[in-house]
Amino acid sequence: MSLREARVSLGAISRNVETIRAATTPAQTMVVVKANAYGHGAVPAARAALDGGADWLGVVDLDEAFELRDVGISAPLLAWLYGAEADYAEAIARDVEIGVHNLEQLERVAATSNRAKIHIKVDTGLGRNGASVDDCDELFAAAARFEKQGALRVTGLFSHLANIEDEAQVERFERLLAAARAAGLDPEFTHIAATGGALSLSNNFSLQRIGIGAYGLSPYDGPAGIELEPAMQLSGEIVSVKRVPAGSGVSYGHTYITQRETTLALVPIGYADGVPRAASNRGPVTINGQRFMVAGRVAMDQFVVDVGDAAVKTGERAVLFGDPATGVPSVQDWATAADTINYEIVARIGARVTRRYVP
């Protein structure tokens, strides 16, 4: 095992996709593998998701899309966020469906190839990417015109929720879908729900986008309401153990002072690897089945654990998080310690951390 290791269960990803598909109703499911599959590894996670029954894969940008195509993954694939120099020609040639959110982008895609397949993104209330409601009529009319000319085909219409159970956004999306159809478009794939919406909305349309749930984590502040398996376990090898007297300061600024003679264990994983500095003095770990807390500030490459009188040796491992059913801290425990969300904890795990894939 390496100094810093994220063990990823591909079987858990497959089973999570199966579980979510069984609990929801849309005809098809897209598993989102953006941001290196939320830190889990895009290519292995994509394959595991497909093994679990995913129909589509979703990414943010074209580089992420091309990474999947480069290894022979041929599943339907949507990308939806681009810069001004996006290579739509290569995307179209490699059968990547393109998310379009404004007229300028639509015109660029239409001028590139007559084989483009696009999903129009509309802003139903999130206030980020997507065509504004006031711009949709013009965008729909232009898309219908280009479609009649054979320049492209509108295969999808989609949006994204600001809040998991925002039925007002769903109703707005339904109105925009009706407007698109009135303009002459007939998108086969309509989608607004990510994991949380898929589990809670009354209308999930024809496609759902599953992100965090595929990796076994809840999209809610509490439990997901279905049985999911956290796919990642993060650990580091203990590289130093030393006995120190009471009154010893630990790490930068001495924000932790030992209250008695104790043992300090050093774990070589830090904020450069994605361990949040905000969890200093609060992040939990388990060593040999015993639970401890980070002592002092998390540094760039390491943190310290005060293990008291526990018999801890170099070469043993400190588990930061994994499946809490096995007795280790959860990703949510770390999110709470760092005042953030579980998405951020896994997505920020860095390149120095070795991913080890297990069934």
Q: Which residues are catalytic?
A: 34, 252
Closest CA to 306 of 353, 258, 344: 258
CB atoms under 10 Å from CB of 297, counted, come to 20
CB 354 within 8 A of CB 2: yes
CA distance 106 to 149: 14
Half-sphere exposure of 5 (CA within 13 A, CB side): 17
Q: Find where tokens 């013009």 sit.
A: 138
List the beta bridge partners of residue 232.
Answer: 8
Which of 109-116's residues contact partners 24+ apart within 8 Å by CB, and which partners?
109/152, 110/146, 110/149, 110/151, 110/152, 111/151, 112/88, 113/88, 113/89, 113/152, 114/150, 114/151, 114/152, 116/88, 116/92, 116/151, 116/152, 116/153
Closest CA to 198 of 157, 178, 226, 229: 226
CB 303 within 8 A of CB 273: no
Sheet of 4-9: strand order equals 240-244, 262-267, 303-308, 290-295, 284-287, 317-321, 232-237, 4-9, 354-358
CB 265 within 8 A of CB 304: yes
Residue 301 identity (one-letter amino acid): D
Residue 155 identity (one-letter amino acid): T
CA distance 33 to 66: 12
